[in-house]
Amino acid sequence: MTIGPTRDSATIQIVYKDLDKPAWNTGIIAHEGVAVSRHTWQLAWTNGPDIHYGEIVYGDDGVPNVENIRVILNVDELKERDKTIPGEGVGATRYLDYHEPQNWRPPYDRELIFSRYGTSTTDKYSCEVWIWNMDTDSVKNISNRHEYYDEPEGVFPDGKYTLVECDMYLPISQHAQILDLYMMPLDSAGNNMVRLTHFGDYKMPNSDVTYKANQGVISEDGKYMLFGEGRSNTNDQPGTGFGIYLFDFEAAGINVNPGVGADTSKIDPVRSSSLPEGH
């Protein structure tokens, strides 16, 4: 997790799962993230324009540290790549110098799902879902919806879908003020979306403020989603919440194919030593 007085000064800190010891402060400033692998020691975080990579390493004394730190996605290099990617460049999202790592794609965690924020083709604040492959160093726009807002959140355990905060149900995008949560297939170029929440269809009583659903995360077994209640047209900081909700996919009649028992034999852990007890 990141802990600090402000987003720009928060540092990556490693927390013991039993909460019986103080968090270990790595001293690494991370504006967003941290994307934590479920199967390896990989981390990814951002300083704003660039996405960084590192690996958790435990010393003989059991003290964790982050090593092998490097930039994996540089903002200037990404803009150069855009010039050769079909659908990007002129007539597409005009990207800002800000990126956010979200999740390593399960079950093998060899791809990083990240956000690229910008200005849409309708001149609204927008976001696109991108993915980086660590084996080929290739990048790909997964959402390809340049007139709307698509921000990735939680990922499903089989790696076939990601949650996105999305406003594609609106006549025109509203600067991420009115959002609901969708399931987005990671291999369908932004097609075959499934809307999960309908908070954006309702306004607060006697108000022009609209509800929205955001900050969704998926359980390890893929059966549940936790998400937050947001509100539109306010001056709250991004991610500000007014309640946490539990979504049961089975009760909703949605088959998410959680991929329980997926073959993980090909996973190549960054570190093969076992995690110290209590972590």
pLDDT-based confidence at residue 19 (cuts at 50, 70, 90): confident
Poorest-pLDDT segment among 73-77, 193-197, 275-279: 275-279
Residue 236 pLDDT level (bands cut at 50, 70, 90): low
Instruction: Kindly list the domain boundaries of the chain, sorted by start residue.
Output: 1-73
pLDDT in tens, 97-109: 999 999 999 999 9
For residue 137, is pLDDT > 90?
A: yes
pLDDT band for position 39 (cuts 50, 70, 90): confident
Is 266 a residue whose pLDDT tops 60?
no
Residue 69 CB partners (closer than 8 Å, separation 6+) = 28, 52, 53, 54
- Phi, psi of 79, rounded to the nearest 5 degrees: -65, -35
Residue among 69, 32, 28 at smallest CA distance from 152: 32
pLDDT confidence tier of residue 110, bands split at 50, 70 and 90: very high
Q: Give percent above pLDDT 70 in the chain.
A: 89
Q: What is the mean pLDDT of the chain?
A: 87
- Count of beta carbons in the 10 Å neighbourhood of residue 238: 11
SS3 per-residue string spanning 8-38: HHCEEEECCCCCCCCCEEEEEECCEEEEECC
Q: For tokens 């990735």, what's the residue?
A: 152
Q: How many CA atoms lie less than 13 Å away from 100 in the CB half-sphere? A: 17
Average pLDDT (165-189) is 90
Of residues 9 and 274, the one with the higher pLDDT is 9
pLDDT of residue 114: 97
What is the number of alpha carbons within 13 Å of residue 276 lying toward its C-beta? 13
pLDDT of residue 30: 94
Its pTM stands at: 0.89
In DSSP terms, 178 is beta-bridged to none
Read off the pLDDT of each residue in 169-193 and give the average, rounded to a whole number: 89
Q: Tokens standing for 198?
A: 């309908």
**pLDDT band at 268; cut points 50, 70, 90:** very low
Q: Is the pLDDT of residue 90 over 90?
A: no
Among 149-163, 182-196, 258-272, the range of highest mean pLDDT: 149-163
Is 25's pLDDT higher than 90? yes
Predicted pLDDT of residue 237: 67
What is d(CA 159, CA 111) in angstroms, rounded to the nearest whole number? 10
| Average pLDDT over every residue of 164-191 | 90
Mean per-residue pLDDT, 42-71: 93
pLDDT, mean of residues 3-16:
88
* pLDDT, tens digit (0-9, with 9 covering 90-100), for 145-157: 899 999 999 999 9
Cα 265 to chain centroid, rounded: 25
- Residues in the chain, overall count: 279
